[in-house]
Amino acid sequence: RMLAQRAPESIYSLPPVEEKQPVKPPRYISTFRPSVKCEAEKNKAQWKTMGPAKVAVPSPKKFLQKRSKEPKLPARKKEQDSKKLSALSVPRRTDHPVMGIQSKKNFINTNAAAVITGLPKKPQPIYVDRRQGDKYLLETSGLVPKYIKKKDYGAIPKYITKRKENTKRAQEEYEARIVEQLKKRAMKRLSDEERKSLLQGLKKNWEEVYRDFQRLSMEIDTIPKKLYKEKLELQMKQLEHDIEVLEKHKVIYIANE
């Protein structure tokens, strides 16, 4: 019964809802508004016309004339007018050639004598780049050995002489220092025969080690083979270092045992 008494719900039978309008905050008013308004009213008369109130009107007689804006040259001074013109190489209309002068010189005989007594002109040396190529001057080609005519040609340069002197001085200082150490530590100097025999022995040992190195197998696939190869390489490197030291230094000292 209660369901039957209720009316069916519909969107058209909804109760009206009152719309609430948002309350706007009070408008912002600047504190300087009265002073600005007062100043605008005071100065309002100045903008009633375009531009300043009193403007000088141009005269109709001062119109733009032709070539009035072109730059004008300064007036010519009197000193420049009084100067004389420079002498011209071209003769003037009023100039007349000198007439009646004759020379007694026989130019034919003079030229013939100069040709007979003169030396023949030497041909310039040239070179050709190929059989049917163009000709070029030999002097400017760089093929002429002009450098042999220099004053210092064949002389030892100064830097090489200086380097030799420095090397000689360093060797003398080294030998003097070694002599002092010999006196203190009783060191012995190897003779040339002992040095040569020691050098030959090192080279012989290197040849033996190199012979063993060449006898190694092509494939080194085991650890002992690798270790043996490294050992031979170290021995060869050490022997090469000792041989280089003996060949480089001709004076060698050793300590007495």
> 199-253: per-residue pLDDT in tens?
999 999 999 999 999 888 888 888 888 899 899 999 999 999 989 988 888 877 7
Structure confidence by residue, pLDDT tens digits, 69-93: 899 888 877 665 556 666 667 878 8
Six token digits for residue 24: 């706007």
Tracing tokens 């050098």 back to the chain, one arrives at 199
pLDDT (average), residues 164-180? 89
What pLDDT sits at residue 185?
Answer: 67
Tokens of 171: 């060797």
Phi, psi of 166 (to 5 degrees): -65, -40
- Non-local (6+) Cβ contacts of 235 within 8 A are 209
- Please compute, for residue 3, the number of CA atoms within 13 A of its CA located in the half-sphere on the CB side: 0
Angstrom distance (rounded) from CA 55 to CA 58: 9
Measure the CA–CA gap between 70 and 66, rounded to whole angstroms. Answer: 9
What mean pLDDT do residues 6-22 have? Answer: 75
pTM confidence score = 0.31
Give the pLDDT confidence of 235-250 residue by residue, as tens digits. Answer: 999 999 989 988 888 8
Amino acid 48: pLDDT: 64
pLDDT band at 143 (very low <50, low <70, confident <90, very high): confident
